[in-house]
Amino acid sequence: MKGFNPSFGPETAKTYDDNLRGDEADTVRFLRRFGDRALEFAIGTGRIALPLKESGVHVDGVELSPDMVARMREKPGGNDVEVVVGDMATEGTGRTYPLVYLVFNTITNLLTQDDQVRCFENAARHLTEDGVFVIECGVPSWAARQRHQFIDVERIEVDHVDLDVNRYDPVTQILDENHVHIGADGIRFGAIRQRLSYPSEFDLMARIAGLKLRQRHAGWLDEPFAADSARHVSVYERA
């Protein structure tokens, strides 16, 4: 995708919370079982960090986009969260935590296998001896699509349509995606680039980082992970 800018700028930050998934409370209930201090990689606008903090967990964050952090600062309690602005694969707080977590497919924003491995290694550096690293991510299904490209219709109204346009490269595991809005108010694009990885590849990354899989679920309600699961919640601990 030529000219792709991976940063989440002011426009993205402004609208990021417009369409929440609705599983935030379930996410918080799952995460809070691991202790009273946590570090969130890609903390963003505080979608999870702020309600987790409200539940009694002290939360710090690492975030690449200053605009996303600025949006979090506008929310109640947002100024009380310490955030290091930088790359989650390398930046840190210098402290250790019983919980480091990375949710909402955000590890796929790291576009090489090396960077994803470095993210695991960075998480391991921030864990207490009995700490855990929790990842939530979708299970890739794009490789099965015909010619590795497809268009999904997200919304059809009288005066506009929203399309999800995708092309997947199975060699690099890169998915180029563009959310396209076509309507009476004009045309808008929302480009995303991701490197998709299967759970088994994450398990190998964990091993490189000195971690091992403790448990894996299909969601935040401890659903069993199965062949038809669309996403996974994986919990890693020190090997």
At residue 228, the pLDDT reads 94
Q: How far is CA 80 from the centre of its chain?
A: 22
In this structure, what token pair is assigned to residue 168? 């997947």
Residues 6+ apart with CB under 8 A from 196: 108, 138, 140, 142, 168, 173, 174, 175
Share of the chain above pLDDT 70, in %: 91
Query: 55: closest CA among 19, 24, 14?
Result: 24
Q: What is the pLDDT of residues 81-114, one digit of tens each?
A: 999 999 999 999 999 999 999 999 999 999 999 9
Q: Encoding tokens for residue 123?
A: 């998480």
Res 129 pLDDT > 80: yes
Q: Answer with the residue of higher pLDDT: 170 or 122.
A: 122
Q: Where are the alpha helices (DSSP H) in the chain?
A: 10-15, 24-31, 49-54, 66-73, 113-125, 199-208
What letter would DSSP give residue 97? Answer: E
β-sheet with 174-183: strand ranges across: 149-156, 160-169, 174-183, 186-195
Q: What is the mean pLDDT of the chain?
A: 93
**Tokens at 210, concatenated:** 């000195």
Q: Which of 41, 5, 203 is nearest to 117 (CA)?
A: 203
What distance in Å separates the CA atoms of residue 46 and residue 25, rounded to the nearest whole number? 13
Portion of the chain with pLDDT greater than 90, in percent: 83
Q: 36-49: per-residue pLDDT in tens?
A: 999 999 999 999 99
Tens digit of each residue's pLDDT (9 = 90 or more) over 3-55: 656 556 567 657 666 767 889 999 999 999 999 999 999 999 999 999 999 99
Encoding tokens for residue 102?
């990375």
Dihedral of alpha carbons 81, 87, 91, 97, sign:
positive
Question: CA–CA separation, 190 vs 178, rounded Å?
Answer: 5
Cα angle 157, 148, 18; round to 5: 40
Tell me what pLDDT residue 143 has: 64
Could you count the other beta carbons within 10 Å of the beta carbon of residue 210? 14
Q: What is the pLDDT of residue 144?
A: 65
Model confidence band, residue 216 (pLDDT cutoffs 50, 70, 90) = very high
Q: Is the pLDDT of residue 1 over 90?
A: no
Domains and CATH numbers, the chain: 10-139+197-238 (3.40.50.150), 142-194 (2.20.25.570)
Predicted local confidence at residue 8, as pLDDT? 64
**Most confident residue range from 38-47, 144-153, 184-193:** 38-47
Q: What is the DSSP string of 32-75?
A: GGG-SEEEEES-TT-TTHHHHHHTT-EEEEEES-HHHHHHHHTS
The pLDDT assigned to 24 comes to: 96
| pLDDT at residue 21, as a whole number | 81
